[in-house]
Structure 1
């Protein structure tokens, strides 16, 4: 079976994308993991299928929520497991729909995209896209252990359409010393797992009314990645909560692959950043 694909990334968080508007090419977990394999496949933190919401069962919920959500982002982690949402992935997905001629969107215009985490509004900007990740939840404490972290640290659970636990560290040295080749251990363990973000505040934390933090992340089902969009949003929300009254609504989050923007407005959290399509190709799957 030959599949045409595009490789893309958002601040280094990379994806294999393929087009299947009518839902005729649903790959199983083994095939998806083969595409994402960095040694024997194309390589990526996840795989995204461009499919119409009407063409797959999960799309029914999206259309019930918003009949205008024609396109569905069918996202799977690198191990082939499905995920609710991907903040960097949906920006790259928007760029892919434009490049494939499946969408016509001018700068400043928005499109509604179905995901397993609900419908998300994606707006084209001058330098990429901004996605409204919707309402968020900052609640629940946990303890997190990780390799080369001297003692277990408290984490704050944050929900932005998918689950996160955010841990504050003391300084850049502590952040750099982490070994995220193995998944951090969360106690109590979330039923479906969670992404874990480790955060260091900027010096100063707030400059010109904008909050600044640095972050590394271990993504559920993918391992450490150069960036995580929903993770950046979760990290900014957690830091904003810790900062207390007077904390800003606008944040810049530095990740190993670059920088993304997070803003809070009207009870929703928004993520902005670049989306880059790198190359096209074709691959044969058994």
Structure 2
């Protein structure tokens, strides 16, 4: 296998904006609280359509490098009135991914309730809102769905949604004064190592043995960051950081997992 590009010459790369993190030292970084968010849709229509997405599932985790996953949030979202022409497209997209039913799905909650509960989870106390991150490939969809849910629910917070790849690059740059490439970071976050780990997917997707789950995406981001960075900071991995029990009990890696593992797997050294 060809190793991903690992180090980009510093003079050719603009460093990510880390000003919002205020990571002045290791202790500030280790104790910092981050939220990883994802929203799944029943489908996607072309950019010229007013209704681009139809939100159906939301997942979020509260995370720190020192303590791992501190709490998680998950809800299914009722689609409400389905726009004309959306149903067939949505059904095809759902059948090929998360398989959440478009209608007659009793687990869904209305958008206003979901959004209120999400904001209470992220921001339970008055003060500055914490950083909220998602994968860059999902950012447009997640941002659009949040704004749409705010408009329909008349709840306005205008959250700033950041790319988690920039967070990882920034941590490496601040800790080691070198930057891994975005290609390497994406490979780090896309491993299949944790796909079948217990307590990663929501209960419904776990019971139906479906890998596509909004909560699982968020938890796997936390697992990958922990696996790559915790030992570099002298943090012992726990069940809150990665599903240790499943990995240690199996004592094996499947070919699918091996194809997806980043080049730094099992190494305590940064990827440069």
- TM-score exceeds 0.5: no
TM-score, normalised via structure 1 length: 0.26
Normalized per residue, the structure richer in strand is: 1
